[in-house]
Each structure stands twice: as C-alpha cells, then as structure tokens.
Structure 1
Amino acid sequence: MMFFVAPLYSGAVWAGQVNINSADVSTLSTELTGIGDKKAQAIVDYRKQNGPFASVDDLQNVKGISSKTIEKNKENISL
C-alpha cells in the first residue's frame, strides 16, 4: 500500500512580495499579516497624499501601523 502525504504549508510560505508603493487595498489586506481593509486603505491614502514610501519603516507614519506589524511583514514587503 502506498500513502501520499501532502506537506502542510502556512500562508506565509506562499505569500509573495507586496510592493507597498503600488499594491491596492485588496492585496495589502490579504497578503500582509495584521493589515485589514481599514489599515490597507490608510496605507493607500497615505501614499496618495505623501508620495511613495522611501523605506519599509516609513509605514510607521501611517495611522494604525505599528512597528510590530511592520516587523511581522518585513520579509514580504518590497518598495
């Protein structure tokens, strides 16, 4: 008898890089940990008002985005 065992992977393994300077609300909220629709909209609004983010740490300037949230997502964020 042969058994096939499928490995289980967390969503983080499959998540790709999210460009915070071009991603839409839906992408931000589904691909980043701790970012729901409200925070994703705040990121997009901040970007529209202030221009592109120069660094990932600039996300701290967005209301509701903490350094802990940034740290959780750093590997999945690109500029």
Structure 2
Amino acid sequence: MRKLFPALFAALLSVATLATVNINSAPQTELEGLKGIGPAKARAIIDYRSKNGPFKSVDELEKVSGIGRATLDKIRPEISTGTPSAAAKPVTPPARKAEQKKP
C-alpha cells in the first residue's frame, strides 16, 4: 500500500498538468488561476473575446491589453483555444459515389 500511494499521486499529478484553460470559454476565476493573470488581465481577456469573438490561436492573446510576449510565454503550456490544430485533425477521404448499375 505504501508503494501504491506515491505511484497514484504521480499519475494524478501528471493528469492535472495536462489540463489546459480554454481562453475562449474560461470564466474570470479560472483565468486568474494562470501565472501572471490577475483580475484586471482576466477581465481584459473576457472583454477582448466578447468584442472580437473567440481567439483563433493562443498567440492572439498578445492583442489583449496588458498581455505581452513574456506573459504569454509563461502561460502558453497552460492554455488552449479549445479547438484542435489543423495538424491534429484526421484527414477524411472524400465519399465515393455509389456505382450505378446499367440495366
């Protein structure tokens, strides 16, 4: 049992680090949980997305007042836009037309 607890704890910790904050849907309190993002910056993120629509990429966060390259680099591993990247999307082959039988 003593050996199981550290392994379980490590597994839970690794899963927790994989979770990201979706900057397109996160409420203010969740945004404030990011390194370097306080109430004012969290509010600015929400105001920006309300005015301009959803962020198309994480890099667009630099357009928000008060967020520069250094802040973005700090939080980049913790954030996402909630949409998979084009590289991650599977390629679906076009549907085949049904062959028509001649009478």
Q: How much has 1:72 moved relative to structure 2? A: 0.6
- Aligned-residue CA RMSD (Å): 2.3
For structure 1, list consecutive stretches of 5 or more residues without a partner in the other structure: 1-5, 7-12
For structure 2, list consecutive stretches of 5 or more residues without a partner in the other structure: 1-5, 7-13, 82-103
**Structure with the greater relative contact order (CA < 8 A, sep ≥ 6): 1 or 2?**
1
Q: TM-score, normalised by structure 1?
A: 0.79
- After TM superposition, the structure 1 = structure 2 runs for residues 5-24 of structure 1, keeping only pairs within 5 Å, are 14-15=16-17, 16-24=19-27
Q: TM-score, normalised by structure 2?
A: 0.62
- After TM superposition, the structure 1 = structure 2 runs for residues 1-79 of structure 1, keeping only pairs within 5 Å, are 14-15=16-17, 16-30=19-33, 32-79=34-81
Deviations 1:4-45 (A, max 9, x none): xx7xxxxxx745300000001100001x11000100000000
> CA–CA distance in 2 between the matches of 1:18 and 1:54?
15
